[in-house]
């Protein structure tokens, strides 16, 4: 399938939900991480986190553009990004936590990036060519994010009393929501049937948990808990997200025609 | 403005060789390897470009610079971006790599590798930051000539 017009209605719905979940994930983590610009603990990290956040917002834009093509209801990428109420967003609950301290940010990124890498791997051979092409490009960039966050995760885990305590605290806060990135979408059967996704989400989640269990064992960290309340993994949002939404929609609400 | 009467793929590509990359202005969009397809018909000139990074903020600037440069052909110009072929740092031409080096930007080496210093050629360099001033660059330091320098990320 090379064009959105070729899709069957059930496939189109399922693909829309997948694209929406991926775009919102990238958009929300990109915005959260951009809050470190100017105040990161080291100058190098200020540059790195800002650059990573910029990548993620760019990935979100490309995914929203694809979503706009597939849904084809007249909304463009900006309308998808900015014109929904907070409850209309479909990002994973892992990304719904407040920015927190540096350990929260590293743990959130680590859990998200490792899960996202598994999701992108499962889309690399997708039957929907525009998504396959985009994913091919995204994976080349995401491996730099992974290298960065893996180095930091290990640094905190081995960094002595305070860094390790903060890492463990952050894992306690975020761990129960870590699996929400790969919690099955309600329409996932249609994705499997159309060959859009290489394996069902429960299989992807098992793969991701196995690789994390090895990494955690290596760093002597407690195992990740199972997902808390998977039925609302992407549908209930926190006050922290409402505040973030208030901020990232501000310019759009003041001047809907504004361009950069 | 002088109107060019001869329009074909070769003359269009030659014209694009004058369009600098906005974030690496010593090199052109042709040097960087982002010009994918050029198609010239009686009705229009169509140019397909490959973004170096998905979220490259310079895309709109590149699009309008390509439009401006091709205006000499007096024919409608269509510029599109595509991911059908993923841009890779291997697409940068040898001349492009030389121009970047002359501006203090080391050629791309894979993750884990380290580039030679573009100023003195020493291999005794340290990686300061995988991430730099733009999405496509990283930061390094040369222990021999004690100068910081930038390197292109291998993508």
Question: Are the C-beta atoms of residues A156 and A221 closer than 8 Å to each other?
Answer: no
Nearest Cα to A66, choosing from A24, A20, A107, A104? A20
Chain A CB contacts of B131 below 8 Å: 47-48, 50-52, 144, 148
Q: Is B131–A51 a contact, with Cβ atoms under 8 angstroms apart?
A: yes
Check CB contact under 8 Å for B53 and A47: no
In a domain, A174, yes or no: yes
Report yes or no: B114 at the A interface, CB cutoff 8 Å: no
Residue A68 inside a domain? The answer is yes
pLDDT value at residue A244 = 96
Look at residue B3 and tell me if it is in a domain.
no
Q: Greater confidence, B62 or A259?
A: B62
Whole-prediction pTM: 0.93
Nearest CA in chain B to A61: B55
Could you tell me how many CB contacts below 8 A there are between chain A and chain B? 69
Spatial CB neighbours of A259, under 8 Å, sequence gap ≥ 6: none
Report the candidate in A243, A102, A237 with the shortest Cα–Cα distance to residue A180. A237
Q: Is A84 left (phi over 0), alpha (psi -120 to 50) or beta?
A: beta
- A2 falls within a domain: no
Domain membership flag for residue A1: no
Contact between chains at A133 and B87 (C-beta distance less than 8 A): no
Are B85 and B108 found together in one domain? no
Strands (E), chain B: 20-21, 24-28, 35-40, 45-49, 77-81, 105-109, 125-129, 137-142, 148-153
Q: Are residues B34 and B65 in the same domain?
A: yes
pLDDT for the residue A45: 94
Q: Are A53 and A248 in contact (CB under 8 A)?
A: no
To the nearest whole angstrom, how far is the Cα of B6 from the nearest Cα of chain A? Answer: 35
Q: B2 in a domain, yes or no?
A: no
Indicate if the alpha-carbon torsion angle A11, A228, A221, A56 is positive or negative. positive
CB A227 within 8 A of CB A183: yes
B82 and B116 within one domain: no
Residue B70: C-alpha distances to residues A164, A221, B4, B27, B74 (Å): 58, 59, 10, 18, 8
**Closest partner CB to A59 (pick from B55, B86, B131):** B55
Q: How high is the pLDDT of residue B135?
A: 83
Point out the residue among A61, A140, A147 whose CB comes nearest to the CB of B130.
A147
CA distance A34 to chain B (A): 14
Judged against a pLDDT cut of 70, whether residue B81 lies above it is answered with yes
Asked if residue B22 is part of any domain, the answer here is yes
B43/B84 same-domain check: yes
Q: Which of B90, B114, B144 is the last residue of a domain?
A: B90
Residue of A nearest to B134 (CA): A51
Boundaries of domain holding A46: 7-254
Spell out which residues of chain A touch residue B89, defining contact as CB-CB under 8 Å: none
Report CA Rg, chain A: 18
B67 is a domain residue? yes
Q: Which of residues 66-85 of B touch A (CB under 8 A)?
A: 82-84
* Each residue's pLDDT tens digit, B10-45: 999 999 999 999 988 999 999 999 999 999 999 999
* Axis-axis angle for helices A161-178, A129-157 (nearest 10): 150
Q: How many domains in chain B?
A: 2
Coil/strand/helix, residue A188? helix
Q: Torsion-angle region of residue A93: left (phi > 0), alpha (psi -120 to 50) or beta?
A: alpha
ipTM of the complex, rounded to two decimals: 0.84
Backbone angles phi, psi at A107, to 5 degrees: -65, -45
- On whether both B78 and B108 belong to a single domain, the answer is no
- Cα separation, A19 vs A3, in Å, equals 15
Contact A90, A237 (CB under 8 A): no
Contact A70, A151 (CB under 8 A): no
- Phi, psi (deg, nearest 5) at residue A177: -105, 0
Report residue A36: phi and psi, to 5°.
-80, -10
Q: What is the mean pLDDT of chain B?
A: 92
A220 burial type by CB count under 10 A (0-12 exposed, 13-18 middle, 19+ buried) = exposed
Q: What is the DSSP string of A80-133?
A: HHHSS-GGG----GGGGS---SHHHHHHHHHHHHHHHHHHHHTTTT-SSHHHHH
Domain of residue B13, residue span? 9-90
Residue B117 domain-assigned (yes or no)? yes
What's the number of domains chain A is made of?
1
What is the model's pLDDT at position B2? 65
CATH number at residue B76: 3.30.300.130
Query: Residue A180: which CATH number?
Result: 1.20.1260.10
**Which residues of chain A are within 8 Å of residue B128 when distances are taken between CB atoms?**
44
User: What residues of B are in contact with residue A58 (Cβ under 8 Å)?
Assistant: 53-57, 135
- How many CB atoms sit inside 10 A of residue A152's CB? 22
- Contact between chains at B131 and A48 (C-beta distance less than 8 A): yes
What DSSP letter does each residue of A134-168 carry, written as one string?
HHHHHHHHHHHHHHHHHHHHHHHHTS-HHHHHHHH
CB-based contact B102:B115 (threshold 8 Å): no
Under 8 Å CB-to-CB from A32, ≥6 apart: which residues?
A95, A99, A105, A108, A244
B86/A144 CB distance under 8 A: no
| Of residues A44, A58, A133, nearest to B55 (C-beta) | A58
Q: Are strands B125-129 and B137-142 parallel, antiparallel or unpaired?
A: antiparallel
Residues of A with CB under 8 A from a CB of B: 44, 47-48, 50-52, 54-59, 61-62, 130, 133-134, 136-138, 140-141, 143-144, 147-148
Task: Kindly determine whether residue B56 and residue A58, on different chains, have CB atoms separated by under 8 Å.
Answer: yes
The residues with which B141 forms a beta bridge, in sequence order, are B126, B148
**Residue A28 covered by a domain:** yes
Q: Do B83 and A137 touch (CB under 8 A)?
A: yes
- Single out the residue in B90, B112, B132 at which a domain terminates: B90
**Arithmetic mean of pLDDT, B69-86:** 94
For residue A6, the model assigns a pLDDT of 86
Of B83, B111, B153, the CB nearest to A136: B83
So what's the pLDDT on residue A152? 96
Ranges in chain A, pLDDT < 70: 260
């Amino acid at each position: 399938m090379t064009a959105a017009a070729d899709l069957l209605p059930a496939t189109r719905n399922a693909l829309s939900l997948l694209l929406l979940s991926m775009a919102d994930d990238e958009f929300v983590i990109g915005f959260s991480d951009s809050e470190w610009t100017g105040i990161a603990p080291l100058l190098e990290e200020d540059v790195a986190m800002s650059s990573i956040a910029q990548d993620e917002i760019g990935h979100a834009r490309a995914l929203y553009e694809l979503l706009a093509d597939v849904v084809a209801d007249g909304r463009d990428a900006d309308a998808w990004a900015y014109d929904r109420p907070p409850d209309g967003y479909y990002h994973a609950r892992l990304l719904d936590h407040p920015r927190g301290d540096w350990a929260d940010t590293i743990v959130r990124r680590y859990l998200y990036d490792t899960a996202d890498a598994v999701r992108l791997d499962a889309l690399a051979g997708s039957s929907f060519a525009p998504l396959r092409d985009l994913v091919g490009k995204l994976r080349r960039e995401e491996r730099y994010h992974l290298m960065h966050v893996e180095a930091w995760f290990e640094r905190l885990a081995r960094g002595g009393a305070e860094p390790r305590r903060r890492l463990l605290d952050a894992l306690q806060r975020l761990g129960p929501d870590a699996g929400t990135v790969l919690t099955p979408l309600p329409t996932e059967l249609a994705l499997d049937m159309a060959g859009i996704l290489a394996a069902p989400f429960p299989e992807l989640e098992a793969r991701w948990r196995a690789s994390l269990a090895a990494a955690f064992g290596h760093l002597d960290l407690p195992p990740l808990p199972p997902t808390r309340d998977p039925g609302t993994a992407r549908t209930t949002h926190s006050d922290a997200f409402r505040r973030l939404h208030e901020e990232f929609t501000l310019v759009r609400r003041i001047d809907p025609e504004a361009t950069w | 403005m002088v109107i060019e009467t001869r329009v074909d793929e070769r003359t269009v590509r030659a014209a694009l060789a004058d369009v600098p990359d906005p974030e690496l202005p010593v090199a052109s969009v042709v040097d960087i390897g982002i010009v994918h397809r050029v198609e010239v018909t009686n009705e229009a000139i169509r140019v397909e470009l490959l973004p170096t990074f998905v979220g490259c903020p310079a895309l709109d600037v590149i699009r309008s610079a390509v439009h401006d440069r091709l205006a000499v052909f007096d024919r409608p110009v269509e510029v599109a971006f595509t991911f059908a072929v993923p841009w890779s740092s291997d697409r940068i031409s040898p001349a492009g790599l030389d121009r970047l080096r002359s501006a203090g930007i080391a050629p791309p080496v894979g993750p884990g590798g380290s580039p030679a210093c573009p100023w003195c050629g020493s291999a005794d360099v340290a990686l300061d930051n995988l991430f730099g001033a733009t999405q496509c660059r990283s930061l390094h330091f040369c222990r021999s000539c004690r100068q910081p320098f930038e390197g292109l990320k291998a993508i």
